[in-house]
Amino acid sequence: MIKKKFFITIEGCDGSGKTTHCLFLKKYIKQKCYDVMLTREPGGTICSEVIRKILLDPKFNLVPLTELFLYEAARAQHVKEVIIPSLNLNKVVICDRFFDTTIAYQGYGRKLDLKFIDKLNSIASYGIIPDLTIYFDIESSYGIDIARKSNSKYKNFGDRMERESIEFYNNVRKGYLINAKKNSKRIKIVKVKKTIVSTQKLVKKIVDMVL
Ligand code: TMP
């Protein structure tokens, strides 16, 4: 078993298929004999999963600042309790969403101040920065349609976030692309292909370059 401290985050709009790709990535990295673990945001700890439930429940009409603080609170707990200890054990950690989501969704989607978000992101992450981020890019209206239909809990309507307008999701996507351009060394863009296998090929190529 190869021990290597390496932090990978996976990003994309709802419906981009990133959760499926996370599972594939974990298997692929394991095949390469690395000690690997997969976690997610919001979530990954008992407390952060409870916060996740509040964040995604359509019955809560959260104002943007409450939403932002809850995502950051879930992150602070998750980073301290799971991510940092796993990295300290020299594991490859894959996280389904991380602070780039907050920039795209709360920054470009909700229009909250980007500098303020950067500050909170850095505090809640205890200063850790992913070694690699893979962003799955998909046309927003197509992605959100898939997300709503495949959400087993809130079928056809989607969770609180997935109920947002196409305009919101267009802004989120724009935010992701601007942020990826600004951090082009760390963030690699994968255009989602028609078949899972052809998208996975692109993922393998990126991972093979770093691991
Ligand atoms: P998921 O269902 O892809 O795990 O993500 C849950 C939702 O939370 C998704 O719509 C994106 C949103 N989200 C934010 O808006 N800001 C954040 O910081 C995070 C981590 C997720």
Any ligand 1 atom below 6 A from CB of 41: yes
User: How many helices, marked H, and strands, marked E, lie in the chain?
Assistant: 9, 5
Pairwise CA distance, residues 178 & 181, whole Å: 5
Any ligand 1 atom below 6 A from CB of 14: yes
> What's the half-sphere exposure (Cβ side, CA atoms, 13 Å) at 78?
30
Any ligand 1 atom below 6 A from CB of 160: no
Which of 123, 125, 34 shows the shortest CA–CA distance to 84?
Answer: 125
Q: Are 6 and 86 in contact (CB under 8 A)?
A: no
Pairwise CA distance, residues 169 & 210, whole Å: 31
Pairwise CA distance, residues 63 & 3, whole Å: 43
The answer to whether the pTM exceeds 0.85 is: yes
Q: Tens of pLDDT along the chain (211 residues)? A: 999 999 999 999 999 999 999 999 999 999 999 999 999 999 999 999 999 999 999 999 999 999 999 999 999 999 999 999 999 999 999 999 999 999 999 999 999 999 999 999 999 999 999 999 999 999 998 899 999 998 888 878 899 999 999 999 999 999 999 999 999 999 999 999 889 999 999 999 999 999 9
**3-class DSSP assignment, residue 33:** coil
Query: Which of 18, 95, 101, 133 maximizes ligand 1 atoms within 8 Å of its Cβ, making it the mutation to test the pocket?
Result: 101
Q: Tell me the CA–centroid distance for residue 194 and ligand 1, in Å.
A: 24
